[in-house]
Amino acid sequence: MTQPFVAPRRLLLGPGPSDVHPRVLGALSQPLVGHLDPAFLALMDEVKRRLRSVFRTANELTFAVSGTGSAGMETCLVNLLEEGDEAIVFVNGEFGRRMCDIVERCRARVVAIEIPWGRAVEREDVERALRKTSHPKLVAIVHAETSTGAQSPIADLAPAIARSGALFVLDAVTSLGGCPVEIDAWGVDACYSGTQKCLSCPPGLSPVTFGPRALEAIRRRKRKVQSWYLDVSMIEKYWGAERVYHHTAPISMNYALAEALRVVEEEGLEKRFERHRQNHLAFAAGAEALGFRFVVEPARRLWMLNSVYLPRLADGHDEAKLRRRLLDDYSIEIGGGLGAFKGKIWRVGLMGESSRREKVLRLLEALETILRDAGVEFRPGSAVAAAEAAA
């Protein structure tokens, strides 16, 4: 008989997935029921209700897409766009770029507003873009750019989008559950997220929410949505009162998401946000003591994703080898750079269950050793001391 699979025990401090609460793993291993079982239908209702609460929305159509965060991105765009529509997409990192790619696959016209990687999308960027474009159907922004660590000030820029009359699509993959996401207060028409970031649930589902204006746009479509699997007008009949069979939902993953949302609710959103903020500040103080330099200006840094330039390493050392040593010797995962930042930065995720004081300190201690071995100079113990002083 083959040996059962035993996963290594990692400390997950990369750009996601994050550490999962033991209660969520326990929910995953509950026995399976059918996708139309009354017990499962009740669980779906619970997921919808709890998702509304973390999204801070009253949107009826709030549910989990049966795919990962990118499937949620595609769901929002393919349902709202048709051939010939125009969409403004702000591109300040990898995920804005991905949205442009999907918009083009919808045969819609994309107006890509390029912003240097590492900078947030600001109100002025939005106002300028809207002045130049006649009547876009949709404006899309990434709230928390996981590829750069920048957070765009949505409360500040949302009114400009509202005045334009365009639909507002927000990527909240990395922000949801780690910092305020205010779907209704910000006037967001469609939003998608992932489960494996600040919700601390394994990857496999994408929470989404659609407001009344988005639904109206879907009802007025001339052609069917190009994806059958992601067609919201069909999926809503399964997640809604009709319970019409569409596809078989990933049952176990929904168990896990429900449990993860319970954990979030028990802690309380405000307390959870504050925990993310404190641990970010502690890590930032420690990292700067080691010679790391942040990519993003202080006011726009994400609490859950710290992007940093490395201090200068001695010859023969490189960032990829250091990350590999962190994984092999300390069982800690952190992320490297994507796209323009490949080989240049590290991305340290402090998301959900991974955003814990003791985990920040464990990382900083490990970094002290491997950086010293790579020829970086700093006062021993200074990183941990700075982190402890910061909070």
Residues in 262-301 at the binding interface with a copy of itself, rule: CB under 8 A: 262, 265-266
| 84 touching a copy of itself, by CB under 8 A | no
DSSP category for residue 133: S
Residue with tokens 């990519």: 295
For a copy of itself, give the closer residue by CB, 332 or 387. 332
| 35 touching a copy of itself, by CB under 8 A | yes
For a copy of itself, give the closer residue by CB, 257 or 308. 257
| 362 touching a copy of itself, by CB under 8 A | no
C-alpha to C-alpha distance for 202 and 264, rounded to whole angstroms: 15
Q: Which of 138, 198, 256, 295 binds a copy of itself (CB under 8 A)?
A: 256
Smallest Cα–Cα separation from 337: which of 157, 146, 62? 146
For a copy of itself, give the closer residue by CB, 65 or 390. 65
Collapsing DSSP to helix, strand or coil, 297 comes out as: coil
According to CB under 8 A, which residues from 182 to 211 bind a copy of itself?
194, 196, 202-204
Q: Which of 5, 222, 242, 316 binds a copy of itself (CB under 8 A)?
A: 5
| 333 touching a copy of itself, by CB under 8 A | yes
CB of 246 to a copy of itself, least distance (A): 8
C-alpha to C-alpha distance for 341 and 331, rounded to whole angstroms: 24
| 1 touching a copy of itself, by CB under 8 A | yes
229-256 in b/e form (b: 16+ CB < 10 A) is bbbbebbbebbeeeeeebeebbbbbbbb
Q: Which of 44, 62, 63, 74 binds a copy of itself (CB under 8 A)?
A: 74
C-alpha to C-alpha distance for 281 and 265, rounded to whole angstroms: 24
**What are the angstrom distances between the C-alpha of 75 and each of 25, 64, 99, 245?**
27, 11, 11, 18
Structure tokens at 79: 């349902």
Q: Which of 41, 53, 56, 70 binds a copy of itself (CB under 8 A)?
A: 70
For a copy of itself, give the closer residue by CB, 235 or 383. 235
Binding segment toward a copy of itself, per CB under 8 A, in 118-126, 251-259, 278-286, 299-307: 251-259
Length of the chain: 391
C-alpha to C-alpha distance for 2 and 39, rounded to whole angstroms: 34
Binding segment toward a copy of itself, per CB under 8 A, in 38-46, 114-122, 298-306, 358-366: 38-46
Binding segment toward a copy of itself, per CB under 8 A, in 24-32, 53-61, 115-123, 291-299: 24-32
C-alpha to C-alpha distance for 163 and 276, rounded to whole angstroms: 33
